Amino acid sequence: MTAAAPFDKVLIANRGEVALRVLRALHDLGLAAVVVHAADDEAPAGADETVALPASGPSAYLDAAGLVALAKRTGCQAVHPGYGFLSERADFAQACADAGLVFIGATPAQLALLGDKAAARALAQQAGVPVLAGSAGAVTLAEAQAFAAAHPGGVMLKAVAGGGGRGMRAVHAAEDLPAAFERCRSEALAAFGVAGVYVEQLMQGARHIEVQVMGDGTQATPLGERDCTLQQRFQKVVEMAPSPVLTDALRTRLTEAALQLARAVGLRGLATFEFLVDVAGDRFVFIEANPRLQVEHTVTEAVTGLDLVQLQIQLAAGASLADLGLAAPPPVRGFAIQWRLNMTGPGRLDRLALAQGPGVRVDTHATAGQSPSPRYDPLLAKLIVSSTSPRFADVLRRSQRALAECRVEGLPTNISLLRALAARPELGGTALH
């Protein structure tokens, strides 16, 4: 950062792996960082200052007023929300602004619009971007039931706020709707502090493709797409960049649709525009936008050579895309795959030995000897494997080697699932749904 930057000390209003990721970016930019941790949680090492929060559990990281007050008390001039928790809360961004703090992310108005999935759908319709049939906003159970009756092919319930698969359920039978509706509301309230749920038509057999965009409030630049089709209970497990199945023509249309939406709101910062894509039918529909950093930003970094977190911080400090050398889209080279290593039950991490070697990056806050709390996200580590080869098979083969090298003992994980997925012959092919 330059001496003219509006901040030199940043509060990281998050925890775990993303707190460590942001901490490293701040350090590399020469900025001071303050990290926080709940009473039942651990803070990442290496911060200039560490502050214990008075509460335990996720609620500690949802205390917007407390975090703003803490940022002021510790002399921070900016706040980075990471992803999850308060990262898409317009009221938190506004509270930061009202306190004279720079919110490292989209503007409160953009968060209110794009962070509200129903409002984002309406924006897409206004911009001429295709969408599925859906409600105009949060619905009651009766309204969801009426919508489902009009769409007998099935519906998707989604939390109006937030993301990451929480507060989301596919419902195929009418009798399953009440329980799914209440579960979505309770998950959304616990994860994001907002219980609203909306409903949309279910699209079967599509791939989940998202386009990463960065804007400076005037211009917007696409940074390529990611294929996030492999999910477990609507939680992304494997993410690829770029998608190995898109045609150039379909990729161009998706990118332009994302840019239309980014330009429509005058995007400032990072946002991801997500689509369901029928590759065989050569069609797509917009489903939602995430105006924040994504867990899977790493694969975009791997194929572009960019540091998205540093760029996000520099944009918040007043840099333009031209200042950052991003007036035009960066070239994409090769392929990258992110494998999310999750714990699937409680225990103690007696051993944690993750892969190394060419084209392998590990992002983790976990260390041997820890007993991770089941009250938080189950992510233990992100294994990011990349190759400059134009053949997707090469990065997949490297992934198989990297996953085979990983050793985790003491608690149950999904490592066997990841290895099995990597061995599937159709991974990256059009048969993947």
Please name the residues in contact with 419: beta carbons below 8 A apart, sequence gap of 6 or more.
400, 403, 404
Question: For residue 386, what is the enclosing H or E element?
Answer: strand 379-387
The catalytic position among 89, 185, 251, 292 is: 292
Closest by Cα among 196, 197, 193 to 64: 193
Cβ atoms 383, 341 nearer than 8 A = yes
CA dist 135 and 147 (Å) reads: 8
In a 13 Å sphere around the CA of 267, the CA atoms on its Cβ side amount to 28
Size of the chain in residues: 433
Closest by Cα among 104, 82, 322 to 221: 322
As given in the structure block, the two tokens for residue 287 are 């489903």
Residue 432 burial (CB count, 10 A): 17
Q: Pairing state of beta strands 197-201 and 155-159?
A: antiparallel
As given in the structure block, the two tokens for residue 24 are 């490293």
CA dist 351 and 4 (Å) reads: 46
To the query of whether residue 340 is one of the catalytic residues in this protein, the response is no
What sign does the CA torsion over 299, 229, 270, 187 have?
negative
Q: Among all chains, which residue has been given the structure tokens 């989604």?
A: 158
In a 13 Å sphere around the CA of 95, the CA atoms on its Cβ side amount to 19
CA dist 52 and 138 (Å) reads: 35
As given in the structure block, the two tokens for residue 246 are 């898109």
Q: Among all chains, which residue has been given the structure tokens 């997707």?
A: 392
CA dist 35 and 393 (Å) reads: 40
Q: Among all chains, which residue has been given the structure tokens 């001039």?
A: 77
CA dist 324 and 221 (Å) reads: 11
| Cα R_g (the chain), whole angstroms | 21
Enzyme catalytic residues: 292
